[in-house]
Amino acid sequence: MGANSLFNQFTAMYRPYIKQLQPIFDEFNLYSAQWLILKDIAMNGPTTLVQISKRRAIEKPTTRKILKVLSEKSLLHIEQGSDKREKILSLSPEGQELYREILHRIEQVQNDILQNVAISEEQIKTTVQTMELIHESIIGMEDN
């Protein structure tokens, strides 16, 4: 096993995982990309479009379009930043409630998935640390 196997397993797992979550997103009329940005704001707010784009490794125009949709759904609270072009983003009360509800449902799916495999807390911790290191490396490569 080598690096290729690691990345193959990650990419093989991603689509089926998102497919498991899709009914939840459909129920709340969200796309997975919208959920990821909503979650990013919940975890890192208050924040800005530029910060979200960097953390999520997506282009600013794409981030802007998703934020526009979330704002139209009244899920965001937007304040003027120190620069007229900068907007400070956080979740509105409706956004916070939606985030909590979807997160709870996603955690149920995740727990169901993990109940089907014999994986220890230590293995989960090690895997998370490994994925974080790889993510940081990839993001660092993009910054160069």
Q: Which helix (H) or strand (E) holds 11?
A: helix 3-27
Q: How far apart are CA 47 and CA 109, in angstroms?
A: 28
Domain CATH number, residue 103? 1.10.10.10
Q: What's the mean pLDDT in 26-43?
A: 96
Band the pLDDT of 144: cuts 50, 70, 90. low
Q: How far is CA 71 from CA 14, 67, 79, 130, in A?
A: 28, 6, 12, 35
Mean per-residue pLDDT for 20-46?
96
Indicate whether 135 belongs to any domain.
no
Within a domain: residue 41?
Answer: yes
Q: Count other Cβ atoms within 10 Å, centred on residue 39.
A: 16
What's the pLDDT score for residue 29?
96
Type and span of the H or E element at 56: helix 49-56
Please count the structural domains in the chain. Answer: 1
Is the pLDDT reported for residue 78 higher than 80?
A: yes
> Residue range 53-63: average pLDDT?
92
pTM above 0.75, yes or no: yes
* Residue 142 pLDDT exceeds 80: no
Query: Which residues constitute the domain of residue 65?
Result: 31-107
d(CA 53, CA 41): 11
